[in-house]
Amino acid sequence: MEGTHRVVSGGGRRIHLVEQGAGPLVLLVHGFPESWYSWRHQLPVLAAAGYRAVAIDVRGYGRSGGPADPDAYRMAELVEDNAFVVRALGEETAVVVGHDWGSVIAANSALLRPDVFRAVGLLSVPYAPRGGPRPSDVFAGMGGEEFYVSYFQEAGRAEAEIEPDVRGWLAGFYAAFSGDTLPGPGAPDPHFVGAGGTLKERFPAGRLPGWLGERDLDVYAGEFERTGLTGALNRYRNMDRDWEDLAAYDGAAITQPSLFAGGGLDASTTWLADAIAAYPVTLPGLVSSHLLDGCGHWIQQERPDEINELLVGWLDALPAV
């Protein structure tokens, strides 16, 4: 895949990105535990369709800055990172598309900076407005076992599990939430940690998902072996801060043109089915919503051709810049 790597920096921000093509700017924001490389199938297709496609490393990942202060990973900072990238690239506006945590970051970018982000595409994780109880209280009440988000929120705990074998852990994590390698019926749910246990105990072993080649895994593992996982995990450690920071946006709708696509086998879409059902209220600018049968969580990598077709069709139909 051809593409230009560059770093934009200023005002204490340092963001690594890969760009391809010319035309209206489309900013691509990855999730956990990934990198700009998650968009390797989208960059050339969007470029060929007449767009300037830019995939970033979110702060704490890859070659982007990774502040030591956990507070630096709050949502408001990540939104401003995105706006900074748009300005640094000499643009005034962009379409923002995100996957997993990137979907949440993209949604909040559109919500907090409508002056910059004129449309938003959401993959895998639906938009759910800020509201309800404090997130840590919600996750603490999810059944008799510990939810993975709570597990990730404790500083150093997940790192102790992951970092001795980054490549093996990533392979298991990707497999646990892929459509073709999900744990079978009756298997312990890998979203939860048993008492005194670890997440990896519930990962399927011995087989990579079809979308993930050995070279792809090498790319992901190489980045996290170099940076560690703390920067990435700090996103989970700011969910209560975000809930406090975004109080003024309680229940707020995103009005820009939007697109949603999720996997039919992804717990992000099944658990948040009510959020999808609420889109007429919460995403009044929604152009289309799609659930891909048999697809897991890593949607733009599991089903790149389908996602590329959806994205290009949606982008082509947006009002001209």
Catalytic residue among 30, 99, 191, 297: 297
Alpha-carbon gap, residue 283 to 274, rounded angstroms: 13
Alpha-carbon gap, residue 19 to 51, rounded angstroms: 10
Alpha carbon separation from 16 to 41, 50, 58, 121, 136 (Å, rounded): 18, 22, 8, 21, 31
Alpha-carbon gap, residue 9 to 18, rounded angstroms: 14
Q: Is 113 exposed, middle or buried (0-12, 13-18, 19+ CB in 10 A)?
A: middle
Alpha-carbon gap, residue 121 to 317, rounded angstroms: 13
| 16 included as an active-site residue | no
| 180 included as an active-site residue | no
Catalytic residue among 100, 191, 242, 266: 100
Q: What is the DSSP string of 233-285?
A: HTTGGGHHHHHHHTGGGTTPPP-S-EEEEEETT-HHHHTTHHHHHTHHHH-TT
Enumerate the active-site residues: 100, 297
